[in-house]
């Protein structure tokens, strides 16, 4: 799930991953940071989240890496093919 808050010059995007099974950790990777894995924080509800700040009009591919192995796309975004025979999520701010 994505939550987007825009103040005109900056856009805060909160990425939330809600696991359906028990997971040990979740990270997010995207074009904005050259695909470096960033650990997501876990809420008491079990959901994982992270908030990033972007410029209006930015567009990025990203995905969630679950337990260091599984690459998951965001249901709220368009899915695009990646060069690794999988898919990435595409978000346009």
According to the CATH classification, is domain 2-92 in 2.60.40.10? yes
**pLDDT per residue over 12-59, tens digit each?**
999 999 998 889 999 999 999 999 999 999 999 999 999 999 999 889
pTM, to two decimals: 0.91
**pLDDT, tens only, 58-89:** 899 999 999 999 999 999 899 999 988 899 99
Per DSSP, the three-state class of 71 is strand
In the structure encoding, which two tokens stand for residue 55, read together?
A: 């410029």
Structure tokens at 20: 């359906």
Whether the Cβ atoms of residue 38 and residue 27 lie closer than 8 Å to each other: yes
Q: Domain ranges in the chain?
A: 2-92
Which residue in 22, 75, 73, 16 sits closest to 40, CA to CA?
16
């Amino acid at each position: 799930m994505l939550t987007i808050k825009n103040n005109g010059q900056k856009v805060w995007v909160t990425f939330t991953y809600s696991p359906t099974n028990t997971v040990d950790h979740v990270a997010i990777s995207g074009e904005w940071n050259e695909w470096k894995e960033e650990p997501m924080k876990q809420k008491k509800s079990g959901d994982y989240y992270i908030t990033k700040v972007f410029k209006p009009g930015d567009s990025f591919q990203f995905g969630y890496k679950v337990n260091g192995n599984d690459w998951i796309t965001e249901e709220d975004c368009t899915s695009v093919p990646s060069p690794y025979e999988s898919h990435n999520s595409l978000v346009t701010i």
